[in-house]
Amino acid sequence: MLPASQDDNRWSVPISALEHFAYCPRQAVLIWQESYFESNTDTVRGDIAHEAVDRGGKLTGRDGARVWRSLPVHSHRLGIHGVCDTVYRCEDRLVPVEHKSGRYVQGGPADVQVAAQVLCLREMFDQQIPQGEVFAGKSRRRYQVTVDEALEERVSRAVEQLRVRIDDPVAPQPVNDQRCTRCSLRPGCVPETAQRQTIDLFTPRLPRNHDD
Over 60: is that where the pLDDT of 200 sits? no
Q: What is the mean pLDDT of residues 28-38?
A: 87
d(CA 178, CA 55): 34
> Picking from 134-143, 146-155, 199-208, which range would have the lowest pLDDT averaged per residue?
199-208
Over 80: is that where the pLDDT of 13 sits? yes
User: Does residue 131 or residue 39 have the better pLDDT?
Assistant: 131
Over 50: is that where the pLDDT of 9 sits? yes
Contacts of residue 60, defined as CB under 8 A and 6 or more positions apart, other chains included, come to 66, 67
Secondary structure (3-state) at 89: strand
User: Does residue 107 or residue 184 have the better pLDDT?
Assistant: 107
pLDDT at 36: 87
Q: What is the mean pLDDT of residues 195-209?
A: 47
The H or E element that residue 100 is part of is strand 93-100
Query: Across the chain, what does the average pLDDT equal?
Result: 83
Q: What is the mean pLDDT of residues 100-112?
A: 94
d(CA 59, CA 163): 36
Over 50: is that where the pLDDT of 203 sits? no
pLDDT tier at 90 (50, 70, 90 boundaries)?
confident
Q: What is the mean pLDDT of residues 165-178?
A: 88
d(CA 114, CA 96): 7
pLDDT at 175: 85
84 forms beta bridges with: 71
Q: What is the mean pLDDT of residues 59-69?
A: 77
